[in-house]
Structure 1
Amino acid sequence: MRGPLNSPVEVGLRAVIILTATYPRTLDVDTLVLLDHSLVHSGDLGGPTSIHPDLPMRSGEIGIKRAILEDGLLLMMRAGMVDLVMSTDGMGYRAADNAAAFVGVLESSYVTRLVETAQWIAEEFAYDTHAEMRQRMRATLGRWVEEFDSHPPITSEVQ
């Protein structure tokens, strides 16, 4: 069983917040994965302080996030917060008409930070091409690998 952090509900809510910040733009799953990662690790990208902790192997989150994000998007589509948009470019997602009102009634410091950081992301990344976003991520991932290599391994003695 998954815990509440990075569950489909939480990741789906973050997707709604991202889609609301980037409305009326339609985003594909790959772009949403990168933007969601940017949302919770914004400090690594020169933005606001990261919302999630700076764990050494956080780059690995990207690899597992797609499936969780897809589950979260399905939940949010059922709740009427996200619209599926079909075009000649493929399938994408856009905030539904009532998504902004829904996000506006949520009250917690976590959601407030998500909304503020999503606004930064909308201004900083949302209009980059997917290739440009991946390049920026690659530069950050390289720093994470160096950071991880500079930490001594965690060991414990069993007695």
Structure 2
Amino acid sequence: MTSNIENLNYYSLFNAPLEVGLRTLVLLSYVKTNDYDIDRIVIFDYFILHARDIDAEQNNLHPSLPHRSTEIIIRRKLILEGLEILVSKGLVDIIYNNAGIFYKSNKMTDLFVNLLKSNYFIRLKNLTHWAISKYGEIDTQQLNSLINENVQLWGGEFEFEALVRGNYES
């Protein structure tokens, strides 16, 4: 019989839906005026994780690994799974309207986020505040343009992302 601690190796917490969901929860707790769709959440998750790619004065939340641009593709599924957890626990509201599916914080969001006090979450909250303050009022299309314009500056590993999105020009 294995202990719960031994099972932690089997059930990775890093980049699992729960961890990604908690980051999304913190993000949505800082968004007070708008609802965010999945595209916007994916962009801001990347900005928060790899803040130094966007602003040299910021530190990344996670290490910058090679080919990190593929995280944008992979993270979408993880974020959706994390959002399912958050919605099922009443920590985030889901809004359906003619423009699509959006996610919004509620009273429980802030109550829960205020309980997160580890060094990791303090750094996460600081980076989230920075990202929302700097880019929160920019529409999603402009954010995508910012990413596309700076892809080469952030490293050649983004070329795969361009291929997947069909934006590759030879």
Q: Normalising to structure 2: TM-score of the pair?
A: 0.81
Deviation at residue 126 of structure 1 after TM alignment: 1.6
> Is the Cα–Cα contact under 8 Å of residues 24 and 94 in structure 1 kept in the other structure?
no
Q: Percent identity?
A: 28
User: Does residue 17 of structure 2 align to residue 8 of structure 1?
Assistant: yes
Find the counterpart in structure 2 of residue 31 from structure 1. 40
Task: Report the counterpart of residue 3 of structure 2 in structure 1.
Answer: none
Q: Could you tell me how far 1:48 is from its partner in structure 2? A: 2.1
What residue is the counterpart of 2:144 in the other structure?
Answer: 134
| Separation of aligned partners in 1, 2:127 and 2:120 | 11
Alpha-carbon distance in 1 for matches of 2:26, 2:103: 12
1:147 deviates by 7.3
Deviation at 1:141, TM superposition (A): 2.4
Residue 115 of structure 2 corresponds to which residue in structure 1?
105
Paired residues for 1:35-74 under 5 Å: 35-46=44-55, 48-74=58-84
CA-CA distance at 1:36 after TM superposition:
0.5
Matches within 5 A, 1:79-158: 79-146=89-156
Unaligned runs of 5+ in 1: 150-159
Shift of 1:66: 0.7
Q: Is the 8 A contact 2:68 2:158 kept in 1?
A: no
The one-letter code of the counterpart of 1:54 is S
| Aligned length, in residue pairs | 149
Could you give the per-residue CA deviations for residues 100-139 of structure 1, whole angstroms, max 9, x where no partner exists?
A: 1111111200000111111111111122111111111123
Check conservation: 2:68, 2:157, Cα contact below 8 A.
no
Change (3 A) 1:45 1:70: same
Deviation at 1:85, TM superposition (A): 0.8
TM-score normalized by the length of structure 1: 0.86
